[in-house]
Amino acid sequence: MTTVTTVAAPCTSCKGGSDLRGLERTRFFARQIVTPDDLTQDQIYFREKAKRHNRMLHGWGVVCGACVRRGGTACEVIVEPGYILGPYGDEIVIEKDTVVDICKLGAGEQDGCCGEELDPWCSDAKADCAAGTLYLAVKYSDCLARPVRGGAGCGCGCDESDCEYSRIRDSFTLRLLRELPAGYTTPMKQPPMASLNPCRGKAAKACPPCPDDPWVILADISIDAQCNVRAVNCFTHRRYVVSFADFFFVCAGKAPNADVGPILDTGIKTMVEGVRFMSMMSGTTNLMDTRGSMTGEAPRAMVTLARADGSTTMLPAYFTVERGSTVGDLLEREGDRSYYDPSTDRTYTLRELYRNAGVATSTKLESTAAALSPLEGRVLGAGTPVRPDAEPTPDASTTRPPTEPEHPRGGPRERLRDILDPSVLAELQSETDVSTLPVTSIAGLSATSALGKRVTEMTIGDVGAMSREAFIEHVTRDASARQRNQITRQAEQVWRSAQRATNPYAPEPEDTPGNPPTVD
């Protein structure tokens, strides 16, 4: 006889204790007396397998939908249909718009199975509210459904209560929390993509621990003392699960007599997107060759370049250079080779890099390393074009610019002193992080002002990427005539500050303000 010993590993189930039912499946044999537990065991086994798969491979959070918006009354919000993975691996499906009445719900729970068509005894009590922020959360739950007469062998005298529910329905429970559950922070911290690489650590990657809390946050809801909804924020604490539901690959082929140009353009864009994804996965800040990086080969040489913010990056060379050839020969063959910078999300061609470095096309080359030497220390995007017949570039050590170019308005951090609130600037670790800060980090802009309330979900980078007209239209939408004039003046100042913060070395926006925005 063979004995099989099962060891409860910490990464197998969220049940805890010595409950190993999720690791066992039923083995039927001849003349076995089958009980309800035997028939249910396979359901437990496959459910626990699916939950373990979800938790270990996909994580937890909102997959899609489940948006929250204001309802028909001042007390109501509506949760739209959505699909969520719970912290324990459960699938949470909200099939239709679900109304949450904060005046009635308060600190209680609202079961997704609870409705007039299912349970007429649902609570309808008035809730006590305290002004502030509540967190609308959802967790998996199930409920019994479809009752049938279960009294086997009874005659006409069977009791009316002798019924059994014949189904278990997957459902959900909604609740308004006063405190954030475990696993949530303010602000939410985006895990680095490099954490997905199991080879970066010094030890084997451990299984993630079982979460301590079953709740998934759907929205932050601001209310007053009468339970009236003041604002709904679906982004500050929303945790999304990576989903490839909308992603697919297309293999573009050349149709007869078709123009190959669009196909090549599509191929180049696809390569850039692939390299962008690879850079996020690896966490690298070095330039990535859109062709060479996909081959898996090692570069033949590398050179250090600088960025405008003072940081440095490495440029790899996957191309070969024949001894005695010129820069012109190299650019004719490899000039369109593109390099993606993951720190700035910009792409440069080899031709642009040589042109900005002022390298003459007649410059003789001896090797791949020698071909890169004129680029050593150059600033990406800086420099002026040279004539094709210009003299060869002198030694790079005599022409290398400083790592941070001088600027009449000073370095990035000096400029931010006039833009950001002092407390925010003191905690800022890097000037490159400024685009991720909330707009209310701009000096003088209060989160409780008319404008501040309309930009609570926006970052400085969001505003910096918009045109002045688009931003003003966004923040004045649905405003009264009196509010529109006030908000417009403040919005113009905030927009200019965001432009200066996100692009320190760009020319000042038109109508440069003399002072940071002030808010009543």
* Cα separation, 493 vs 108, whole angstroms: 44
* Cα separation, 321 vs 21, whole angstroms: 65
pTM of the model: 0.53
Residue whose token pair is 């308060």? 106
Q: According to the model, what pLDDT value does residue 70 have?
A: 92
* Cα separation, 417 vs 435, whole angstroms: 15
* Cα separation, 344 vs 306, whole angstroms: 12
* Cα separation, 52 vs 361, whole angstroms: 60
From 172, 167, 158, select the one nearest 62 (Cα to Cα): 172
Q: According to the model, what pLDDT value does residue 127 have?
A: 60
- Residue 404 belongs to some domain of the structure: no
Residues 310 and 371 in one domain: yes
- Residue 323, classed as helix, strand or coil, is coil
Q: Which long-range contacts (CB under 8 A, 24 or more apart) does 443-446 make?
A: 443/418, 443/419, 443/497, 443/516, 443/517, 444/516, 444/517, 444/518, 444/519, 445/490, 445/494, 445/517, 445/519, 446/519
Spans in the chain with pLDDT lower than 50: 1-10, 17-18, 115-124, 157-158, 260-261, 263-264, 383-410, 511-520
Residues 123 and 104 in one domain: yes
* Cα separation, 75 vs 486, whole angstroms: 29
- Residue 12 belongs to some domain of the structure: no
- Residue 102 belongs to some domain of the structure: yes
Residues 339 and 440 in one domain: no
Q: Which of 343, 374, 399 is the last residue of a domain?
A: 399
Residues 96 and 177 in one domain: yes
Q: Which of 343, 373, 399 is the last residue of a domain?
A: 399
Q: According to the model, what pLDDT value does residue 366 have?
A: 87
Residues 362 and 344 in one domain: yes
Q: Give CA torsion, residues 236, 237, 241, 242, to 10 deg.
A: 30
Residues 303 and 326 in one domain: yes
CA quadruple 420, 423, 428, 429: dihedral sign: positive
* Cα separation, 321 vs 485, whole angstroms: 63
From 341, 367, 340, 332, select the one nearest 354 (Cα to Cα): 332
Residue whose token pair is 């509540």? 134
* Cα separation, 441 vs 32, whole angstroms: 70
Q: According to the model, what pLDDT value does residue 310 have?
A: 77
* Cα separation, 440 vs 196, whole angstroms: 32
Q: Which of 12, 30, 57 is the last residue of a domain?
A: 57
- Residue 345 belongs to some domain of the structure: yes
From 468, 513, 476, select the one nearest 495 (Cα to Cα): 468
Q: What angle do CA 381, 382, 385 make, to 5 degrees?
A: 100
Q: What's the structural domain count of the chain?
A: 4
Residue 62 one-letter amino acid: V
Residues 44 and 63 in one domain: no
Assess contact for 445 and 456: CB atoms under 8 A. Answer: no
- Residue 267 belongs to some domain of the structure: no
Q: Please report which helix (H) or strand (E) contains residue 36, including its range.
A: helix 36-53
Q: According to the model, what pLDDT value does residue 391 have?
A: 46
Give residue 333's domain range.
Answer: 292-399
Q: pLDDT tens-digit profile of 164-173?
A: 888 899 999 9
Residues 91 and 41 in one domain: no
* Cα separation, 187 vs 174, whole angstroms: 23
Secondary structure in 3-state letters for 108-162: CEEECCCCCCCCCCCCCCCCCCCCEEEEEEEEEEEEEEEEEECCCCCCCCCCCCC
Instruction: Spell out the residues 6+ positions from residue 198 whose beta carbon is closer than 8 angstroms to its own.
Output: 204, 205
Burial class (CB in 10 A: 0-12, 13-18, 19+), 297: exposed
Assess contact for 343 and 355: CB atoms under 8 A. Answer: no
Secondary structure in 3-state letters for 271-288: HHHHHHHHHHHHCCCCCE
Which two three-digit tokens encode residue 58? 């996909």
Residues 344 and 433 in one domain: no
Give the sheet arrangement for strand 229-233, strand by strand.
109-111, 163-177, 132-149, 216-223, 229-233
Residues 85 and 219 in one domain: yes
Residues 351 and 418 in one domain: no
Residues 350 and 493 in one domain: no
Assess contact for 440 and 424: CB atoms under 8 A. Answer: no
